[in-house]
Amino acid sequence: MTGPDERLAQFVFTLRSKGITDERVLTALEKTDRAAFIRGTFAGRSYDDMPLPIECGQTISQPSVVGLMSQALRVGPRDTVLEIGTGSGYQAAVLGRLARRVYTIERFRRLTEAAQARFRALDIHNVTVFTGDGSHGLPAQAPFDRILVTAAAEDPPGPLLAQLREGGIMVVPVGQSDTVQTLIKVTRTAQGLEYDELGPVRFVPLVEGLGDD
Ligand code: SAM
């Protein structure tokens, strides 16, 4: 029988073995209890490195993917981050430990309300949740130091690129929703946008408009 300490140690070992080396990111993952973002019987599998179902037919991402995306973003403690696709709120909570301020947008109101309730219960005060179509970003709060898209787009959305500060980084899965997509890192430099491919990923699609729930 393995106890909570052994499970946490195994969790961190798995994250390291999947390429997460940034100690701030590892600590943020270690301290963010994934079980608090999962309802029902699946909460018992929170340390498993796999996506799990949440409400509205969506998924909470695999912890190692949350770690690799957070690491690729290179979030600093003074950064303002925009996340598209709140889902359970887990990735936003991890980003909240790395950044000064996090804004996150979700198209399903039910998920927005559940995430908000979790942040309140966990005393997370630097993450703000909005219901809306995240592909338009949040012009009133722009520009952002970092932007993370946690749903697959056919191309990096133009409004999000426009809301990225000079020196800023955006990480986004790009490709068709029914295939393996490519994780792309976009950096805005004084000369323009630079694109780097980070590897294959599989995400639910970025969908236009609000969800029914
Ligand atoms: N980051 C989430 C977490 O930590 O649980 C997992 C994200 S889940 C893989 C993708 C989420 O993106 C879903 O909740 C989905 O409803 C949302 N989504 C898809 N298209 C969207 C859009 N245009 N605007 C906002 N959210 C969107």
Using CA atoms of 148, 161, 115, 69 in order, give the dihedral in degrees to the nearest 10: 0
In angstroms, the CA 59 to CA 75 distance is: 24
Q: Which residues line ligand 1 (CB under 6 A)?
A: 58-61, 84-85, 87-88, 90-91, 105-108, 111, 133-135, 150-151, 203-204, 206-207, 211
Indicate which atom in ligand 1 lies nearest the CA of residue 105: 25
Dihedral (CA of 29, 35, 39, 44) sign: positive
Which of 73, 83, 86, 202 for a ligand 1 pocket mutation test, highest count of atoms within 8 Å of Cβ?
86
In angstroms, the CA 177 to CA 184 distance is: 15
Q: Provide the 10 A C-beta neighbour count for residue 116.
A: 18
Which of 97, 104, 204 for a ligand 1 pocket mutation test, highest count of atoms within 8 Å of Cβ?
204
CATH of 4-201, one of 3.30.450.40, 3.40.50.150, 3.40.190.10, 3.40.50.11890: 3.40.50.150
Q: What is the pTM of this model?
A: 0.96
Residue 1: what pLDDT? 53
The more confidently predicted of residues 212 and 98 is 98
Q: Give the tens place of pLDDT for each residue, 165-207.
A: 999 999 999 998 778 999 999 999 999 999 999 999 999 999 9
Closest CA to ligand 1's atom 17? 85
ipTM of the complex: 0.99
- DSSP helix/strand/coil, 37: helix
Q: Are 79 and 146 in contact (CB under 8 A)?
A: yes
Residue 106: what pLDDT? 98
Look up tokens 């970092």; give the residue: 146
